[in-house]
Structure 1
Amino acid sequence: MVQRHDASTLHFDFRLEIGGVLVSWAVPKGPSLDPRDRRLAAMTEDHPLDYADFEGRVGDGYGAGTVVVWDTGTFENITEKQGEPVSAEDALAAGHLKFVLHGQKLTGAFAITHTKMGGDDKFWLLVKIDDDGADRRRKPALTQPESVLSGRTNEDFED
C-alpha cells in the first residue's frame, strides 16, 4: 500500500507487508510508472499492519500532517538468485527486492535496490520495470491525489 503523506514536505509512504509488518520507505516524488525514472526511497521504521488503512491527521511531532491511502493492493515477490526464488526477507537483507504490484494505481513489476548514497544506509532506489504496467505518459503521483478508500485528498483533512 502507498500513503500520500503531507507532513513537513509532501511525500509518499511506500509500504510492503513482509514478515508481519509494513516495511516502509518515504518516496519524495512518489512512485513512477515510467521505467526511465529512478525514485529515491528513504527507508523508515516498520509500521504495524493495522496502520494500512489509516487516513486523517497525524498530531504534533514526528510525521505531523495529513495522510490518505493513495493506493492499495497486493504484491508478489519475484526476486531470484541464479534462477532460484529468494524470500522477500532475504532479498531485503541482500539489498535488492523485485516484485509485481497488483494495485489500483500501480501495477506491474518494480524493483527496490539499496544504495549507500552519501554514505547513508537508509537510501534505496525504486524503479518501474519496463512491462505491460509501464506508462511513460501517465503520472498518477501528480494527477491522482485522492484516496482509493475514501476518495478524499490530504486537503480534506486540513484544519
Structure 2
Amino acid sequence: MLHVAKSLFQIGPVPFTMQVFAIFLASLILPPKYAFLSLLVYDLLGAVGVPVFAGFSGGLSKFVGPTGGYLIAFPIAAFVTSYINTKKPIKNDIINAAFALIVGLCLIYTLGFLFLAAAAHLTLKKAFLVGVAPFVIPDIIKLAIAYLLASFLKSRKVLNIA
C-alpha cells in the first residue's frame, strides 16, 4: 500500500513526502544545534543504508542522485530555521516563525533544485518546474501544521528540551 502511495505522488525525480513536515517540526521544537544534529543523524542513517528516505530507501547513492541536494539541505535548513526562530529577529512570534520556516524552505528548495539540475542534466527552469513548483502549496500547508503542532506541544509543556 505504501509503495503504491509513493508512486502515485511522484512528479519526475522528486517524490511528495512528509520530510519537510518533520524537518520543520524539529526546527520549531529543538534548539539550533539539536535541530541540525537530528537531521544529520537522519541523513547518516540513510547514507549507511537504513531505509529512511522516500520509498523506504537508503544508501550513499541517494546523495549523488537527483534528490541529493534536498537531503544535504535538510540539516542546514533545520539549523537556520531553529536559529531564526530562537533568536527572534522579528518580535511577533507567529511572523518570526513564518519567516524562519520560509527561509528554511527556500534553502531546501535552492540547494535541492540546483543539485537536481546538475544530477539530472536539466535546465534550471525545468529543475524548478519539477523540483520546486509542485511542492510549494503542499509544503506551506506542512509548515503551517508543523507550527500548530509545535505551538500545541509547547503550550501543553509536553516538551522539556534545553
Please give the TM-score of this superposition, normalised by the length of structure 2.
0.29
Taking CA–CA contacts closer than 8 Å with sequence separation of 6 or more, which of the two structures ends up with the larger relative contact order?
Answer: 2
Please give the TM-score of this superposition, normalised by the length of structure 1.
0.29
Q: Which has the higher strand share?
A: 1
